[in-house]
Chains A and B, each alone.
Chain A
Amino acid sequence: MTINVSMQVNGKAASVNVEERTLLVTVLREELRLTGTHVGCDTAQCGACTVHMNGKAVKSCSMLAMQAEGAQILTIEGVAHADGSLHPMQAAFKEHHGLQCGFCTPGMVMNAIDLVQGRPNITEEEIRHGLEGNLCRCTGYHNIVKSIAAGAKAMASAK
């Protein structure tokens, strides 16, 4: 059976008819072709699929699309400015070499933007705790932590 699910994705109304068992990440990637949201583990461990639901970071592989009915969803495609210039957190990852292969990066950036909200002076320890749900196989995390600390400051001063 198919069923309708409607949500706001990156500020635009999205309405799709899918099977009831469809995951949120499947709607984003396969129905809406927003393939910036990655699937790493598919078992709730790696955080590559992290998006925001109503402003909060969630793992889109671990929920049904139905659970996002009526919600505001933000994916990595929706964070840059309209003129194409990078979001301060994206810019910080670029500046501080917070990525190598880039597979984990969309999930890292989405979690980071939510994590540092209103916390320009977030500490290294707080950032490392905040990243418990995101795995990276390349960087050793060090530059990701540096990027997020810089991104937090840049986001606060951009306001």
Chain B
Amino acid sequence: MYAFTYHRPASAADAAALALKHTDGKILAGGQSLVQAMKLRLASPSDIIDLGTAKDLVGISQKGNQITIGAMTRHAAVEQSAEVKQLIPALADLAGGIGDRQVRHMGTLGGALANNDPAACYPAAVLGLGATIQTNKRTIAADDFFKGLYETALESSEIITAVTFPAAKRAAYIKFKNPASRFALVGVFVAQMDQGVRLAVTGAASCVFRVPEMEKALGAAFTPESIAKIHVSADDLNSDLHAAADYRAHLITVMAKRAVSKALGQ
């Protein structure tokens, strides 16, 4: 790991000011992705701005039919939250399936979203539920946030402060795990909302994406059978040592059907 200067901001505003000043610096959340990337010298920030001391970024609050989760809230806290389990059980379930329990004790919602790993779980929930991402500057809709491979709408010194998730009538997340890393080889989040059905796929392509054809079919009939014959083209999907693109394409339909069954409590 290359040397850097370490900063400990007391609040999100302090962190934002530091990020603006040190343009070659990086925000540190749980460190579960960034510290390893720095050890491999894939990242070599001049400065580290540790959000661990920014207490205003931690917490879970419920307001009506919505849950707002602070960016520094650990995966384990979301997994165990009574409010999340009650209002959006699929989200608690997803958080509880990330990596392993040691990773969940450190990894954060904000870090997972800013990182936008193509195989990460949280992006599927954020896009699947149509959540909104709050930053120190603005509010970004999920549909505008995920831009590509490890790429988001965030500007270089912009900090995620919280994410607001609307409750679904029914929702579920299911992933076909990479057996070594437990990241999603293919993961599907399906949500039946008041405005219609949303279905987001992670792990399969360079970035999380929705499948409008499945959403439409599920809007007409929320059953696994209604999407059994809908296939996503393998053309833009990932091929790597873990799985070929056509296998991933096949898994999308299988996982989508299982997600619908799970949402129906079957």
Q: Do A and B come from one complex?
A: yes
Choice from B6, B52, B101 contacting A132 with Cβ under 8 Å: B101
| A146 at interface by CB-CB < 8 Å | no
Choice from A20, A42, A56 contacting B6 with Cβ under 8 Å: A20
A1 and B5 contact, Cβ closer than 8 Å, known pairs A64-B28, A67-B31: yes
Segment of A30-38, A43-51, A92-100 engaged in the interface with chain B = A43-51
Contact with B along A117-159 (1 / 0, CB 8 A): 0000000000000101110000000000000000000000000
A44 and B52 contact, Cβ closer than 8 Å, known pairs A20-B6, A56-B76, A58-B102: no
The number of residues on chain B lying at the interface, defined by a beta carbon within 8 Å of a beta carbon of chain A, is 29
Name the interface residues of B80-128: CB closer than 8 Å to any CB of A.
99-103, 105-106
Residue of chain A at shortest CB distance from B96: A129
Q: Are B101 and A133 in contact (CB under 8 A)?
A: yes
Name the interface residues of A34-82: CB closer than 8 Å to any CB of B.
42-45, 47, 50, 53, 56-59, 62-64, 66-67, 69
A115 and B101 contact, Cβ closer than 8 Å, known pairs A63-B35, A64-B28, A64-B35: yes
Q: Using Cβ atoms and an 8 Å threshold, which residues of chain A touch B5?
A: 1, 20
A1 and B103 contact, Cβ closer than 8 Å, known pairs A62-B31, A64-B31: no
A133 CB to closest chain B CB, in angstroms? 3
Q: Using Cβ atoms and an 8 Å threshold, which residues of chain B touch A53?
A: 105
| B48 at interface by CB-CB < 8 Å | yes
| A16 at interface by CB-CB < 8 Å | no
Name the interface residues of B33-80: CB closer than 8 Å to any CB of A.
35-36, 38-39, 48, 50, 52, 76
| B210 at interface by CB-CB < 8 Å | no
A62 and B101 contact, Cβ closer than 8 Å, known pairs A1-B3, A20-B3, A20-B48: no
Choice from B38, B48, B105 contacting A58 with Cβ under 8 Å: B105
CA distance A58 to B100 in the complex (A): 10
Q: Using Cβ atoms and an 8 Å threshold, which residues of chain A touch B216?
A: none
Q: Are A23 and B35 in contact (CB under 8 A)?
A: yes
Residue of chain A at shortest CB distance from B100: A133
CA distance A67 to B3 in the complex (A): 16
The number of residues on chain A lying at the interface, defined by a beta carbon within 8 Å of a beta carbon of chain B, is 30
Q: Using Cβ atoms and an 8 Å threshold, which residues of chain A touch B50?
A: 64, 66-67
Name the interface residues of A84-108: CB closer than 8 Å to any CB of B.
none
A110 CB to closest chain B CB, in angstroms? 9
Choice from B4, B36, B76, B181 contacting A62 with Cβ under 8 Å: B36
Q: Are A66 and B106 in contact (CB under 8 A)?
A: no
Choice from A21, A64, A130, A134 contacting B3 with Cβ under 8 Å: A21
CA distance A43 to B103 in the complex (A): 12
Choice from A3, A56, A63, A132 contacting B99 with Cβ under 8 Å: A132
Choice from B4, B101, B106 contacting A21 with Cβ under 8 Å: B4
Q: Using Cβ atoms and an 8 Å threshold, which residues of chain B touch A19?
A: 3
Q: Are A66 and B103 in contact (CB under 8 A)?
A: no
A57 and B101 contact, Cβ closer than 8 Å, known pairs A63-B35, A64-B28: yes
Q: Using Cβ atoms and an 8 Å threshold, which residues of chain B touch A47?
A: 100, 102
Q: Using Cβ atoms and an 8 Å threshold, which residues of chain B touch A42?
A: 39
Which residue among B2, B32, B105 has the maximum number of chain A CB atoms within 10 Å of its CB? B105
Interface residues of B (CB under 8 A from A): 1-6, 8, 28, 30-32, 35-36, 38-39, 48, 50, 52, 76, 99-103, 105-106, 180-182
The 9 closest A-B pairs by CB, nearest first: A133-B100, A132-B100, A20-B6, A56-B105, A133-B102, A21-B1, A59-B102, A63-B31, A57-B102
Query: Contacts A44-B32, A56-B105, A64-B50 given; 5 further ones with Cβ under 8 A?
Result: A20-B4, A23-B35, A57-B102, A62-B32, A64-B28
